[in-house]
A and B are shown apart, each in its own frame.
Chain A
Amino acid sequence: MRNFVLASLVISISLISFSIASAQAKNEVLIKNATVMTAARGTLENTDILIQNGKIARIGKNLNASTSAKVIDATGRFVAPGIIDAHSHAMMDAINEGSLAVTSMTRIRDVLNPGDISIYRALASGVTAANLLHGSANPIGGQNSTVKFKWGKPVEDFIVADAPSGIKFAMGENTKRSSFNPQGGQTPRYPRTRMGTLEVIRDAFNRARDYKQSWDDFKAKKTKMPPRTDLELQPLVEILEGKRLVHAHGYRSDEHWNLLNLADEFGFRIASLQHGLEAYKIAPEIAKRKTGVSIFADSWSYKLEAYDAIPYNAYILWKNGVNVSINSDSDERIRRLNLDAAKVMKYGGVPEEDALKMITLNPAMQLGIDKRTGSIEVGKDADLAIWTAHPFSVYSRVDMTLIEGDTYFDRSKETQMRADLQKERETLEKLDINKAPGSGGTPPRIPAEKRLADRDDADRDGGNY
């Protein structure tokens, strides 16, 4: 009895101290003594980062935090901004709506799968945010989702609420071949040539203008019946009004040039050219329009459209003042974007911080989320990765990944987690419900993970990423 009283006393005291702690600044984290690569103001040695309420509160030496703060000793470690992938198809249960050439009514938000293991693997590689794009089967694809990889949270928490809306456009091989190779029973789709692709886009914007006019007339009481809320044309009106970012897939410079001209004609800006392996050929023209380019660091000649790609693409674009980002377009490549950034230092000699920006601040700017993330600066979201060595080194690994101050990957817990999972698996496999039935044949070996070939030439989904 006495022991019981004593025990409950101890419990209530610890409960009290717990509640005092949580009354202070929410999730306070102090990262001590790191080499901080800010991706904005150079690299700072032996520096602390104080995180409060999910934001970077202070950056400096010998910072103090309240006693309840989680303190991470990062001596000998590098802290870099969380990597942002400007072109990903992770956590999507569908990629292309290939039945039509214009599918601006589709929304990636509708098909997100927060349980995709790619998310966790990306976190383990220092990636904290991504631009989830529709595939490239259509001249005008679907509406994107800009997400942070908040693994374990409900899907609505992944969405970066204040990120500007975007949309995928596509030119070239994938768009054409999707028309040539329709699904069974489908009439071969228009457009079947590069000129047709451009015409489809122009036609869509003309229809969008007419659509906007119909609403303007209705609002001015010139018409009595309300026009249709057209989910296909509404996003295009938003593009014309400068409210929606266009991320345009393409390889060849002539196609980029055509699209930039079409955008000039309709008075909007292309936010980013995706892939842009020949973008170096028209770098000044791209720079003039403040259009970003999101590239592969290499992969020259991997498809016909990529024959004129060169490793100096990033360098030439950067030299011309273009905002360049490096993307993965692949659940596998997303795990080593840090090394892709290192490549642009080798080819042409992009300075270290500018190379780092190509996987952090630059994609944040292309996605319109640079006010809140993309670099280590006071007031920004605490989206960080702690690396064991310089992130451009092949020997470097991620120790911890934080989003808004919360830990979403912690390598020190991996061993235990794996052991726990193994134990859980053994328990589950022993259950009757999970035991194999006596009959039913021996299935052939099916690889659990159908390897997703990378880049946009994967053999899944017609290869139209």
Chain B
Amino acid sequence: MKLKLFLLSFAVISSLSSISVSAQTYAITNARVVTVSGETIEKGTVVIRGGLIESVGASVKTPADAQVFDGTGLTVYPGFFDALTNLGVTAAPRPATPTPGGGPQVVTVGTQATAPQSNSNYPAGLRPEETVEIDLRGGDAQFDTNRNAGFTTVLTVGRTGIFNGQSAVINLAGESVSAMVIKSPFAEHVTFTTVGGGQYPGSLLGTFSAMRQMFLDAQRLQEMNRIYADNPRGVTRPASDRSLEALIPILSGQIPVVFNANRENEIVRALDFAREFNLKAIIAGGQEAWKVAARLKAQDVPVFLSLNFPKRTTSSSPEADQETMDLLRFRAETPKAAARLAQAGVKVAFQSGGMTSINDFLANAGKAVENGLTKDAAVRSMTLTTAELLGVNDRLGSIETGKIANLTVVKGDIFGKEKFISHVFVDGKLFEQKEPAKPAAGERPGATPPAGTTPAVAAVAGNYSITIEVPGQTLTGTLALIQQGNTLTGSMQTQLGSTPIKDGKITAEGFSFAGTVEFGGSTIDILVKGSVNGNQIAGTVDSPQGTVPFSGTRNP
């Protein structure tokens, strides 16, 4: 008996073994060290040992066993944070719940998981219990692009739907998920969308009612569980419900809710909903949050501000209606958002917001600085403030003795045009970048395809006239594809309006991109897949309403 117990505890202990860290000791000397938590050291040394920052200061001794870098002309920052991504989630889309009544199978666009069919009582998109942690995969290479841009830590969440599941704070290196995860779960993520497939909720109206009912049911479940735990005799047991149970720590404020809300109306709706259930709310996106800054401050709601600034993607046509003032203003005002929020005392963490090139992150943070944000505040919004808001500032976010050795070493001004990220440390592991021998004039960083992709990339760029065969109706329009390596940008124009291309990429089959269209008062997610053969283009458009074919020809 005793032996058994001993063995058992041994097993537990071995499974709790600490993560493997880089055994190498490093010292960066003569560098400018932006500690963020304290004064900037104009000429100092940072020593990294065992994955941690061993020491930092102007007069720190370089250990004999350390690999030494001369940091003259370099600046060391705490590793940069991206406060919202879906990095690390590499699984393929999974089919949604089969439709009752034998209707066509609908693929829930972008729903990423390899998990088997859930036994939740709720449709996909209303399952708050799902965690990104089970969707994550280990491996350093998947993070190359982001890490090379200076990012060491991100908040990541993988699923779509109304409840996007619970996010995790991860380091952008690690051969296993357990080595990557810093904190899981961090928050529940919510998007004001529908579940699709003709199911309830099928409109924004139903979205709020369905969420409200689930939170009320969770409150009741908590109460019933309490009554049943008191004395189960003579009481029918409350039905177990993992979806509702996942909402209980959210109702108690233990787990915050990140609302994806970019425009003013969405943000106000998120704040109203958070107030209704006394939720600990965070706004993600938040490009119009400055319009309700006073309310955010009063309700103590921080913003994970998207630096994916709106851009004009359509060219002008003499026949086109002029753009709305709302849109023109939105593009002009967005770079000023960070400064205005900071001015109002709202806490801001920067996030990439699904930008096509991660290099826009620092460039747009620089635009926020040009528009009134102090450089110090901008740095904090991608280091210590983010760490605080993610609840990991005891171990990350600044350069202090004993913290995790996540560091970003930069040559040049990070908010300027001439900059180069020379070294990135994640958990003390060094990732070094060679400065391009000849930064070709006019070529944008990030324009080259990332290493490891096949050099022969299909050429799909061009302007196409397309026809989409929606049952009972044929939509016509144009598709403009702009290709940079494996990345596609551009837009699709139909009678339903203009759809900027999101997540556009070249695939083995051809190409794919996502987008949204406004229809019937709601925003519908679409996923377009297709291929180009000579001047012919063909493929499918997936939406919650079903899959329809499209075809077209390249315009000369």
Q: Which residues of A contact B (CB under 8 A)?
A: 92-100, 103, 105-108, 110-115, 134, 142, 154-155, 182-188, 224-226, 228-232, 421, 424-425, 428-429, 431, 433-448, 460-462
Q: Knowing that A96-B520, A97-B202, A433-B312 are A-B contacts, what are 14 other residue pairs whose CB atoms are under 8 Å apart, sorted by A's residue number?
A: A94-B522, A96-B205, A97-B200, A105-B213, A107-B209, A110-B207, A188-B101, A225-B236, A231-B212, A231-B213, A433-B311, A441-B314, A446-B493, A446-B498
Specify which of B311, B331, B478 is in contact with A443 (CB 8 Å cutoff). B478
**Chain A residues with CB below 8 A from B310, complex form:** 433
Question: Which 6 A-B pairs rank lowest in CB-CB distance, beginning with the nearest?
Answer: A186-B198, A184-B546, A187-B101, A441-B480, A99-B202, A441-B463
CB pair B208–A107 under 8 Å, yes or no, is yes
A154 touches B268 (CB 8 A): yes
Binary interface encoding of chain B residues 298-315 relative to chain A, with 1 for a CB under 8 A from any of its CBs, else 0: 000000000001111111
B199 adjacent to A186 (CB under 8 Å): yes
**B315-361 CB contacts (< 8 Å) to partner A:** 315-317, 319-326, 328-329, 331-332, 335
Cα-based distance from A142 to B207 in the complex (angstroms): 13
We find that the number of chain B residues with CB closer than 8 angstroms to chain A is 80
User: B201 contacts A97, CB within 8 Å?
Assistant: yes
Question: B478 contacts A444, CB within 8 Å?
Answer: yes
List the A side residues contacting B185 at CB < 8 Å.
Answer: none
- B497 in contact (CB, < 8 A): yes
Q: Does B227 contact A (CB under 8 A)?
A: yes
Q: Specify which chain B residues have a CB less than 8 angstroms from the CB of A226 in the assembled complex.
A: 220, 223-224
Evaluate contact between A445 and B325: CB separation under 8 angstroms: no
Asked if B87 is at the interface of the complex by the 8 Å CB criterion, the answer is no
Query: Contact: B227 with A224, CB < 8 Å?
Result: yes
B101 near A440 (CB under 8 angstroms)?
A: no
Asked if B315 contacts A421 (CB within 8 A), the reply is no
What residue in chain B is nearest A187 (Cβ atoms)? B101
- A429 vs B204: C-alpha distance when bound (angstroms): 33
A443 touching B104, Cβ below 8 Å: no
Residues of chain B within 8 A of A187, CB atoms compared: 99-101, 103, 198
Q: How many angstroms between the C-alpha atoms of A185 and B97 in the bound complex?
A: 11
List A contacts of B236 (CB < 8 A).
225
Q: Does B58 contact A (CB under 8 A)?
A: no
Given A111-B204, A231-B216, A444-B493, A437 and B312 touching (CB < 8 A)?
Answer: yes
Produce 1/0 per residue, B511-530, CB < 8 A to A.
00000000011100000000
A112: which B residues are within 8 A, CB to CB? 265
Can you sample 14 A-B contacts with CB below 8 Å? A97-B200, A142-B205, A183-B198, A184-B104, A184-B543, A184-B545, A186-B99, A424-B325, A425-B322, A434-B312, A434-B331, A436-B315, A437-B313, A443-B478
Residues of B within 8 A of A114 (CB): 265
Is B490 in the interface zone, CB < 8 Å from A? yes
Enumerate chain B residues within 8 angstroms of A188, measured Cβ to Cβ: 101
B197 touches A436 (CB 8 A): no
Q: Is the CB of B208 within 8 A of A111?
A: yes
On chain B, the residues within 8 Å of A107 by CB distance are 205, 208-209
Q: Which of A99, A185, A431 contacts B331 (CB 8 A)?
A: A431
B117 at interface by CB-CB < 8 Å = no
The answer to whether A99 touches B206, judged by C-beta atoms less than 8 angstroms apart, is yes
Contact status B491-A440, CB under 8 Å? yes
Among B478, B480, B520, B522, the most chain A Cβ lie within 10 Å of the Cβ of B520
Name the B residues within 8 Å of A183 (CB-CB): 198, 202, 544-545
Asked if B314 contacts A436 (CB within 8 A), the reply is yes
Q: Within 8 Å CB of A94, what residues of B?
A: 203-205, 521-522
What residues of chain A lie closer than 8 Å to B321, measured between beta carbons? 445-448
A165 → chain B closest CB, angstroms? 15
B205 contacts A440, C-beta separation under 8 Å: no
Q: Is the CB of B205 within 8 A of A442?
A: no
Contact of A92 with B198 in the complex, beta carbons under 8 Å? no
Q: Mark B206-234, 1 if CB is under 8 A from A, else 0.
A: 11110011001100100110010000001
